[in-house]
Amino acid sequence: MGSIHPTAIVEDGAIIGKNVSIGAYSYISKDVTIGSNCKIATHTIIEGHTTIGENNEIFSHAVIGSIPQDLKYAGEKVELIIGDNNKIREFTLINPGTKGGGGVTKIGDNNLLMGYVHIAHDVIIGNNCILANAATLAGHVELGNGVVIGGFTPVHQFVKVGDLAMVAGASALSQDVPPYCLVEGNRAKLRGLNLTGLRRHIDKDDINSLKVAYKKLFSSNIPLTEVANELIKDSNIYVSNMAKFIVESKRGIAQKRSIN
């Protein structure tokens, strides 16, 4: 059964689902919706137009839904939407969207946000992602599904990271990362495919197809977008997805290609 500690403040208007636990000295503002079976630890703040799904666990001293850290924000209604089955660890800060970015920050399902993670305004995170301690996503960043961001890694605003990609710890990422790839360094550059992650999720034949495609893309004297435009037509869906991501990239890909 859920319980609300007598020292917690839940403002009138907040919608609290079944079996929700709210710890001591936590604060839930009037426009918040929390789904069933969530656990909110002590000294947690959840405010603004924030919607949280079911079965989430939010640890102590997290601040969820406080106004964007954007000087252009002028008090307009903006939202934060969090899905189901997420773990949000201690001292994490998550901001809602801004008018200029569509007004919504959105986090999917089954994500782990470790301690001191910051999710800025208008960020979009897919499902099954892991952000290690003190990873920092600037405004408008987009993460696909199954992304891993290592600890103490800042990600520049408007950067996109594709499905099953990994950014190594203590890196600094300022350009896009294609799906299925691994980047590392300051500034982070492609180091190859995220083979460990891929082996957990896709078949060996698909990985081999990605290896061939990766070599064509990044070990050639042919322009990157030209190669990618050809690979979009590939029958392998993973190869096609990686190529499409590269063609659509606006910040450029985090790689200096080797020229044979």
Catalytic residue list = 121-122, 139
State whether residue 184 is helix, strand or coil.
strand
The answer to whether residues 34 and 47 touch, using CB atoms and an 8 Å cutoff, is: no
Cα-to-chain-centroid distance, residue 164: 12
- Least Cα distance to 149 among 78, 162, 158 occurs for 162
Query: What is the DSSP pairing of strand 181-185 with strand 188-193?
Result: antiparallel
Q: Kindly state the DSSP code that residue 118 receives in the 8-state scheme.
A: E
Report how far apart, in Å, the C-alpha atoms of 157 and of each of 78, 137, 213, 230 are. Answer: 19, 7, 28, 29
Strand order in the sheet with 142-143: 15-16, 33-34, 49-52, 79-82, 104-107, 124-125, 142-143, 160-161
Which own/partner pairs from 131-140 qualify as long-range (CB within 8 Å, at least 24 positions apart)?
Answer: 132/169, 133/89, 139/68, 139/70, 139/98, 139/101, 140/101
Query: What is the DSSP pairing of strand 39-40 with strand 21-22?
Result: parallel
